[in-house]
Amino acid sequence: MNISTSTQSQETKVCKPSLIGFSRKDLSDIAVDMGQEPFKGLQLFKWIYDKGSRDFDSMTDLPQGFRNKLITAYSLKRPTIKNEYISEDGTCKWLTSFEDGQQAETVMIPEGDRITLCISSQVGCTLTCKFCYTGTQRLVRNLSAGEIVGQVLVAKEQINNCVYKNLKEKKMISNIVFMGMGEPLYNFDNIKKSVEIIKDKNGIAFSHKKITLSTSGIIPQIKKCGEEIGLNLAISLHSPEDAIRTQIMPINKKYPIKELIKACKIYTQVSNTKLVTFEYVMLKNLNDSDEDAKKTCKIS
């Protein structure tokens, strides 16, 4: 009696991997492994990322046998929203919870017809930028590609079903920015895979021109990002002077402004996007003088 109880509890603890975060190629491979034609993987991809399906039984154009095998081996689990904070201007901040209980922020910013979604790439951060609350927390772990894409799927559903449910016309996410918790270039492989999935025309179908990666300026990864990912780049600048920028962002000691600008120029040469923007938080009596503004304009 005791033995069977313990076996049962072990079985219930086994977590089936979620297919959220699997690319079109991954799903075709799974389809083939399960005795299907590769295009069944494409159909599965469309159900997951285009239609946003939450259960295999709803995928009615897939053979029942294939669906049964998928149910046995995989789940379609997504992150969940633990808390929602809505400000007066309509900005929603969601505390997103992942399967192991770790949490990160996803933020939706409405502005006229546009909706910008800021997604997290890590839980915590190794950097200690002075203006950032996440900078006071230690790095817990990188988010997986599935957890990154999952934030987009959850936000789409939330926007359609909850935030704007009474509108006749559905509002859509117009821009995605990797600007939540964490330094995305320190989670390169998962960002790359998540962008591949988010861009895929058979699913979420988001143009690379509408996706921006915001970085504190991790120089060795910038060129690689241009070559291998290719999306809009935003640099946290915050001062034209190395001494001040290092105070605000200690990473500047390792990757100073001159080298950073050089890396940005290379980015525009190797990437399919030519857009690099610079972010500047004004901090009283530190980087907000007229002189700072003039010097910032002259950075080259």
> Can you give the binding site for ligand SF4, defined by CB under 6 A?
125, 127-129, 132, 134-135, 181-183, 216
CB of 41 to ligand SF4, least distance (A): 35
In the bound state with ligand SF4, the residue whose beta carbon lies nearer, of 125 and 148, is 125
In the bound state with ligand SF4, the residue whose beta carbon lies nearer, of 183 and 200, is 183
- Cβ contacts of residue 235 below 8 Å, gap of 6+? 214, 215, 217, 260, 264, 276, 277, 278, 279
In the bound state with ligand SF4, the residue whose beta carbon lies nearer, of 105 and 292, is 105
184, two tokens = 């995305």
CB of 215 to ligand SF4, least distance (A): 8
CB of 260 to ligand SF4, least distance (A): 14
The answer to whether 146 touches 20, Cβ cutoff 8 Å, is yes
CB of 131 to ligand SF4, least distance (A): 7
Give the count of alpha carbons within 13 A of 226, CB side only. Answer: 21
In the bound state with ligand SF4, the residue whose beta carbon lies nearer, of 20 and 251, is 251
Place of tokens 């309509």: 90
Burial class (CB in 10 A: 0-12, 13-18, 19+), 189: exposed
Distance CA 286, CA 11 (A): 58
CB of 129 to ligand SF4, least distance (A): 3
CB of 213 to ligand SF4, least distance (A): 12
Distance CA 128, CA 138 (A): 9
In the bound state with ligand SF4, the residue whose beta carbon lies nearer, of 193 and 238, is 238
151, two tokens = 């934030």
Burial class (CB in 10 A: 0-12, 13-18, 19+), 300: exposed
In the bound state with ligand SF4, the residue whose beta carbon lies nearer, of 204 and 248, is 248
